[in-house]
Amino acid sequence: MKVVFLETVDGSGSMGEVRTVASGYARNYLLPRGLAAPATPTVLARAERLREIEESRQQSQDERARELVGKLESKPLVMAVRVGEQGRLYGSVTNVDIAQKAGEILGEELDRRRILLPEVIRKVGVYSVPVRLSRSVVPDVQVVVVDVDAPEGVDAAVAEMLKPEMEEAPVPTQAFAVSMEQSTEDEVTDGESEPGTPSA
């Protein structure tokens, strides 16, 4: 079904955007909630104005996001967890954990879906994780996973792990390469199974 989005729906469409979506998704979620409308001539005539409003909103969000980048890049996000043999964690570090830690630094709540983590972290180490602060501002944030019971203490363990960077040598960082297209596809899939509700 072809619809015009009346509001921005993450992973589905932006305000004023004309897209073809699954009929069930439109009828059961988008239309009843007023998030979109069938692409009739009357609604299509409104689309351009809606796009202008959305563009202005996105610019404001980008400006705000750029202000937050400095805070997130100023120091690594340290995740102190219990660790077993060979550096493997008891459990894992998820996007929920990283979002909570990032939120503490930013002083505001950060939606877990903004943490573009393709798989949970199960070993100690230094990781580069993309964080989508807005549609066009996606900085890579350094996440350090360390043993909470490190004999030398957490701070010393973190310093040791980051030492190569301080010496301007390559850091054994595990970078997560996540394309915006893939993350969007994942969100659309989530939205169709249970629209608007974060998965567990």
Q: Is residue 79 located within the same domain as residue 167? A: yes
Q: Is residue 23 part of a domain?
A: yes
Q: How far apart are CA 90 and CA 83, in angstroms?
A: 6
Instruction: Write out pLDDT tens, residues 20-35.
Output: 999 999 999 999 999 9
Domain range holding 38? Answer: 2-62
Q: Is residue 21 part of a domain?
A: yes
CA distances for 157 relative to 54, 104, 162, angstroms = 46, 21, 9
Q: Is residue 16 part of a domain?
A: yes
Q: Is residue 30 part of a domain?
A: yes
Neighbours of 132 (CB within 10 A): 21
- Contact call for residues 3 and 19 (beta carbons, < 8 A): yes
Give the pLDDT score at 179.
42
Which CATH number is 42's domain given?
3.40.5.10
Give the pLDDT score at 116.
92
Q: Is residue 139 located within the same domain as residue 173? A: yes
Q: Is residue 89 located within the same domain as residue 167? A: yes
CA distances for 187 relative to 65, 145, 169, angstroms = 20, 26, 37
In sequence order, the β-bridge partners of residue 36 are 5
Q: Is residue 160 located within the same domain as residue 82? A: yes
- What's the whole-number average pLDDT of the chain? 80
Report helix, strand or coil for 78. strand
Q: How far apart are CA 188 and CA 91, in angstroms?
A: 28
Q: Is residue 50 located within the same domain as residue 92? A: no
Q: Is residue 193 part of a domain?
A: no
174 has pLDDT over 60: no
Q: How far apart are CA 115 and CA 96, in angstroms?
A: 8
Which CATH number is 161's domain given?
3.10.430.100
Lowest mean pLDDT among 3-12, 152-161, 168-177: 168-177
Instruction: Write out pLDDT tens, residues 132-153.
Output: 988 889 999 889 888 888 777 7
72 has pLDDT over 90: no
Q: Is residue 122 part of a domain?
A: yes
Q: Is residue 169 located within the same domain as residue 113? A: yes
Here the tokens at position 95 are 């996007």
Average pLDDT over residues 171-196: 46
Q: Is residue 84 located within the same domain as residue 126? A: yes
Q: How far apart are CA 198 and CA 17, in angstroms?
A: 23
Domain count, the chain: 2
Q: Is residue 132 located within the same domain as residue 163? A: yes
pTM of the shown model = 0.61
